[in-house]
Structure 1
């Protein structure tokens, strides 16, 4: 089946948010390049008005340049093998794909991710920041929510750190299928990625830890629900936004009864830790 192909050159700081926005209007496949990323969508899934509106918001700030074409077929796994290298996180976690050699003996944790075209391989600053936060938080026998799971990498990390239960979900069909595949590859039991958002999925009444690496607008919209399901002694970790957005995120979080604890940042991206104020 033919795909519409969009080769996009843009400022590095805008790559992740552009992919997230494009996924929200029907693009189901992405491949990062040195200059930006390539994006793919079936012709029948492209709403031209939504596409024009998105470009109108970002073309100037992100310095977007686009080359359009048609892609008859693509072997996504082969494409990823050319562009996806293993990474390490704090010398404790080794993130690789199935086609990379294992280094399990040298690291406390090894995560296997066949990313397909879902978000979250550990390469982007926000995923890396979330993983570093997880390594500093107690997961043992805890109930964890991973909102907007993408590849499921944070949910996998939670289980490997000893979480009792993990609720993982995403609004994208491709991510749900990919996440469940990655859960199986990592040998996880009693975890299935659901399709939906924090308001619609089946979930526990309270969580000890809520993880949400999405984008600023979604986080602001869903903040009250994160606060509602967070146990009084629990922690909320948020990322997917820039350091310049911290004030807005904090304001909404505090309005919802959450207490700012600390932050981590990398390449202008931020990840914030909150607790409950009551």
Structure 2
């Protein structure tokens, strides 16, 4: 699969917004740089008209400068070593790449080689999902990670004592990278390839994790609800604070009751619980 590469220089406060907007039109891999972001999309899934409209919408406000090209063959471990720093989620977990030293003082440690995949803990959505996971009992539970990316949430579930973890993603880059990260952290499951309808995971699950985007969540939430056990938990992120009401309202219609909302840098995360 050939990827297109877009180097987008922009104001720092627009990086997260542009990542979210670009993910809505098919971009699936991002690398934050000193000047902005590098964004990647499969060439056969690129919609030039939608991309140009998005860039035009933010060009002046974000002071965008754009360079386009094909993704070169590069040493991705070397690139990530330049740009990826470890991160801690409280004392719950320390997230580092394999080229960083281990640190004491944390209940858990996750080692990932993120390469091209989304979900490193740096993004506010992943950070909040990890934090919410740490607030729930995973011991002996069945857990489903929808749109797993680097596999970091599935790994967290494993470290928290889940008896079974299933994960999948729509992108083959993510699947390959996720399985590599699973191996690094002792998780023996293999990440599946496809949408939730294609993979067709077999419930019931005690916990379902979905860090995607608002439109996908709204489209698939009925499936999540069906897959959950009574009193099971649904953890959601990938949307803005102003989108919370829409997701909570749909959850109510599906028998999913609001438990908690958190926000970070205007990104929101939800915990919902299925009625008994």
Normalising by structure 1, what TM-score?
0.90
| Alpha-carbon contact 1:13-1:268 (below 8 Å) kept | no
Matched with 1:56 is 53
CA separation in 2, counterparts of 1:209 and 1:140? Answer: 11
**Alignment partner, residue 212 of structure 1:** 210
Question: 2: CA distance between counterparts of 1:61 and 1:21?
Answer: 15
Pairwise CA distance, 1:106:
2.6
Contact preservation (8 Å) 2:15, 2:37: no
Assess if the C-alpha contact under 8 Å between 1:96 and 1:112 holds in 2.
Answer: yes
Per the alignment, residue 16 of structure 1 pairs with: 19
Deviation at 1:102, TM superposition (A): 1.3
- Counterpart of 2:76 in structure 1 is 76
Aligned to 1:98: 98
Instruction: Name the CA shift for 1:108/1:268 in 2 (closer, same or farther; >3 Å).
Output: same
User: SS of the residue aligned with 1:200?
Assistant: helix
Question: In the alignment, what sits opposite 1:114?
Answer: 113
* Match runs of 1:123-272 below 5 Å: 123-189=122-188, 191-272=189-270
- RMSD value, Cα: 2.1
CA 1:59 to 1:214, structure 2 compared with 1: closer, same or farther past 3 Å?
Answer: farther
After superposition, the Cα gap between the structure-2 partners of 1:3 and 1:209, relative to the gap in structure 1 and judged at 3 Å, is closer
In the alignment, structure 2 segments of 5+ residues that lack a partner are: none
In the TM superposition, what is the alpha-carbon distance from 1:254 to its structure 2 partner?
A: 1.4
Kept after mapping to 1: 8 A contact 2:9/2:36: yes
Give the drift of 1:201: 1.2
Instruction: Provide the rounded CA distance (Å) in 1 between the counterparts of 2:248 and 2:155.
Output: 27
| Aligned-partner SS, 2:252 | helix
Q: What's the secondary structure of 2:88's corresponding residue?
A: strand
Q: What's 1:45 paired with?
A: 44
Distance 1:231 1:130 in 2: 20
CA distance, structure 1, for counterparts of residue 163 and residue 53 of structure 2: 45
